[in-house]
Structure 1
Amino acid sequence: MFKKLKEILLGRSPNNVLESKVESKQNQVRYTMRDEQLVETDAVFDAWTSGDIAKMRAALSEKTNLIDRHFLLMGLVDQSYKHRKEDKEWERFCAEISELHIKEFPEIKPTLVKSLNGILPRVTTFQKYATLLTEQNDFDRAVEVCEVALSYGLRDGTKSGFEGRIERIKRKAAKHSA
């Protein structure tokens, strides 16, 4: 009788409670704030918040809002940057996504600033990509990336900022060509 009552109240038999928990988690609706409105999260949000690089790569072609696009791209750069020395494919992918993020950043920036009440956060793509380019001896492009970051008013979190980074890159370039 208790078993039957549970089945009626819960809409399932006690034997498939585990299946039910998995099913309810998959059907769970999540929300976040975007443009001062509560909106349902999407596959891109789920991917970048998971930290799972496979999920993030799969979400690259998905349409989304500019905030989630920004965090997806920056997350992909962060993850691939960590693995760049282990595998040339990660290095290539890091460069590809960095270029894409930098290309899309002019459109992303105003929405990002608005969503953070006028504050422009650190965007690690620029500093990580500048470092990667320096490691590849592409000093001119590394300096360009830093200059682009400066033009957006970005800071890299170091005492000397992107200005100091540019000077260090130029010193490395001079040593390399000597």
Structure 2
Amino acid sequence: MNGYSSKRIAVTAGAGSAALLIAALTFQTLGYAPCELCILQRWPHLVAAIIGALVWWFGWKRWLAALGLIAALCATGLAIYHAGVELKLWLGPQHCSGGIAGLASMSTQDLMAALEQAPVVRCDEVAWSLFGISMAGWNAICSAALSAMWLASVRGRNREKGLA
């Protein structure tokens, strides 16, 4: 694999993150409001898309590809966490999973204030799914594939030199 191939893989992975962002925004315009974890998952994809653009503009650099890999791995981890919250495998953040800490000891005023501050979209409910996989689940699958692409880009020069 030559430097050109490593660059192409990195740029494609960055474009994949940009495509996932566009898909998320499209769903949002179609009326699927994002929860807090959905929005959180977008940030690593934004970083990876920017890094892909930097690789395209300035050329392949191992450290840029490594940053892209880190961003994609963060996106994968956040998406797995969110999918697990939706599947009730573990608890999500209290403020977006329906729980209000200290509910029994709250006054009526405190309870009303907590309810007014609670997000409308819950993190532990599936808003949309395809083949039984939620958006967070699809994001985890796609993010894992993009992580593999970033890894291939990072490792590309080592293979060319016979170092891997």
Which category describes the TM-score, using the shorter chain as reference length? 0.3 to 0.5
The structure having more radius of gyration, on CA atoms, is 1
Structure with more relative contact order (C-alpha pairs < 8 Å, separation 6 or more): 2
TM-score relative to the length of structure 1? 0.35
TM-score relative to the length of structure 2? 0.37
